[in-house]
Structure 1
Amino acid sequence: MTSAYCTVLSKGRLYQVIALFGSLKEVQADASVFTLCMDDDTYQVLKAMQLENVTLVPIAALENEELLELKKTRDQSEYCWTVKPVFLEAVLDRHPGLERVTYIDADLFFFADPRPIFENQPDCSVLLSRGDIVIPSFEKQEIDMLQRLLGRYNSGFLSFKTDQAGTDCLKWWKQRCLEECKNAPGEGKFGDQGYLDYMSDLFPNVCDITTPGVNIGHWNYGKHTFSWKDGRLVLEDGHPLIFYHFSGYRIVSTDDIRLIHESTRTDLPFVHQLYQDILPHVIETVSAVRPDFNGFASEDDNK
């Protein structure tokens, strides 16, 4: 194992992460995923499922005095974001043979092999996903304001090599997140994400991902069209859709799967229907293994 993926997971995203694991296995069968479980329910369900190439780490194994103090002052989202770079660094420390570690959000879904992302830019120590906002119904002033508040990059997929620049950059990101990680948009400081804007100015070999079809989500799907070609999903230029970021889903029940960010839009790409068709099967699979588990969101969960 020379590279690995990492994700941070709480019970409200467990159904989505099972979909993620299944999609990744389909396109990269030997992919290893280290999963930081933020609660015992999550850990016990995944342990019972015995998923191949998924290594479970309970949050208690990571927490030290500093993190436990921060946990008292940060909400669940803030704390999950805070521990992301801490977890990435811990995985690298405990697995010195790794040459690369890549963070993936639980609500990603892979449609094609992600390895070309790294093969196309082998000299980059850090790879970042652009988070350019492209929403046709928004005025330019609205988009410019959101971009300033949310940052130029999306932290749902980013990758660090274990060279000097990569590890230095990861350490710097960890320190910033420990200092502040607010669940509120603000210029230069939105959660763990705002800090990504500064990485290329502070460290060498920090690159924007140039491979098409990466980390498309509700904030930028307006610039793309999707179609089937030879049995695979492709973009308008024929490049494969590698993965889509299904941000904003709330699974209230098997029959009530909501998309809170785009509740009034009628032009969602058909990949959303594919995802929504998969999730009920995931819920059934989890229920068969642990009938007592409830990973559903509340009716008023809009965060």
Structure 2
Amino acid sequence: MNSIYCTVLSSGRLYQAIAFFLSLKQVENGAVIKTLCMDDAAFNLLHQMNFPHVDLVHVRELETPELLEKKEERDASEYCWTLKPMWIEWLFEQEQAESVTYLDADLFFYESPQVIFQHQPDASVLLSRGDIVIPSFDPEEVKMLQKLLGRYNSGFLHFKGDEAGRKCLSWWKEECLKECKNAPGEGKFGDQGYLDHMPKLFEKVEDIQTKGVNIGHWNYGQHSYREENGRILLEDGHPLICYHFSGFRIVSKDEMQQIHEKGREDLPFFQEAYRNVLRHVIESVEQVDPMFNGYAKVEEDDA
């Protein structure tokens, strides 16, 4: 089956992206990641690093006069989100893929995601739930946040190239072209709020049923974690497949901040291991291009 993984990244997320590339390669040796680079710095650095399982496409290859107008109107995050469904659609057309799985570049894999697709072979679209589970938050506050941010997280999405999948994807693309704001709002938040409507509007759209997928700062508190024989397991013994390290700000090699989890003391134990991976990534980048600067400012938004 011609199945493709893809991502979108800018130079400000490149350190995490390299960690993502390495982690997916570790758990699925044959994985190839189609990578849309949003700027010259990211494209040139990755071209120099020459990962054999990372295929690069510069954003210029997708940009049309209509998109360039959107680029002028939207901030960097909004433009990345606008392009996400277009990138997936472009891959269907260029690669003749049977399925495309979009993965955010700040994901980190501990197990192969192939089990997800094996569990739900009849789904044309697979969505990742983004239920907010933060015990320290008041229930009403959680309810309000869920309403603003939506039921799903757009960091892990799977589309088949069949009629149902392509129809859903085309609708999402058109909605993102109309509006893709970097501000929470009821029913709309970037490219993400639109996902809530997909199960109602289209056939064969399913929630991912496999446990341990795309856990992040919004819901890690609903699980406990342990290490056993080199694997990270949830409390019920299911393996952690991937964790979404959203909100990491790599200010320097020795300063990495988590803007969504300030003051929380119940962080998963594997967060420190992830920081160590990022330090090794930064050192490897320095050897290739000492002038490259992928550091972020703390106040920057996700992209």
**TM-score scaled by length of structure 2:** 0.98
Q: For residue 30 of structure 2, what is the aligned residue in structure 1?
A: 30
Q: 1:115: which partner in 2? A: 114
SS of 1:227 mapped into structure 2: strand
CA shift for structure 1 position 271:
1.6
Secondary structure of residue in 2 paired with 1:198 = helix
CA contact (8 A) 2:82 2:191 kept: yes
Moved beyond 3 Å, runs of 4+: 299-303
1:225 aligns to 2:224 (yes or no):
yes
Correspondence for 1:153: 152
Specify every segment of 5 or more residues in structure 1 that has no aligned partner in the other structure, as ranges.
none
Please tell me the root mean square deviation across aligned C-alpha atoms, in Å.
0.9
Confirm whether residue 79 of structure 1 aligns to residue 79 of structure 2. yes
Q: Deviations over 1:164-202 (max 9, x none)?
A: 000110111000000000000001110000000000111
Counterpart of 1:128?
Answer: 127
Q: For the Cα contact (< 8 Å) 1:260–1:302, is it kept in 2?
A: no
1:20 and 1:106 in contact (8 A); partners too: yes
Give how far 1:220 is off: 0.3
1:188 aligns with 2:196: no
Output the amino acid matched with 1:258. Q
Percent identity, please.
Answer: 61
| Aligned residue in 2 for 1:138 | 137
Residue in structure 2 matched with residue 44 of structure 1 by the alignment: 44
Q: Which piece of structure 1 moves more, 229-238 or 16-25?
A: 229-238
Q: Which amino acid aligns with 1:111?
A: Y
1:301 Cα offset (Å): 3.7
Matches within 5 A, 1:1-303: 2-96=2-96, 98-298=97-297, 300-301=299-300
Distance in 2 (alpha carbons) for counterparts of 1:302 and 1:74 = 13
The residue type equivalent to 1:60 in the other structure is: R
Change in Cα spacing, 1:200 to 1:300, as seen in structure 2 (3 Å) is closer
Secondary structure of the residue that 2:74 maps to in structure 1? coil
Deviation at 1:300, TM superposition (A): 4.5
Q: State the alpha-carbon separation in 2 of the partners of residues 147 and 11 from structure 1.
A: 30
Q: How far apart are residue 298 of structure 1 and its match?
A: 2.5
- How far, CA to CA, are the matches of 2:28 and 2:301 in structure 1? 33
Q: Which amino acid aligns with 1:61?
A: E
Query: Is the CA contact 1:4–1:102 (under 8 Å) kept in the aligned structure 2?
Result: yes
3-state SS in 2 of match to 1:72? helix
Q: Is the 8 A contact 2:13 2:106 kept in 1?
A: yes
Q: Structure 1-normalised TM-score?
A: 0.98
Partners of 1:120 and 1:48 lie apart in 2 by 38
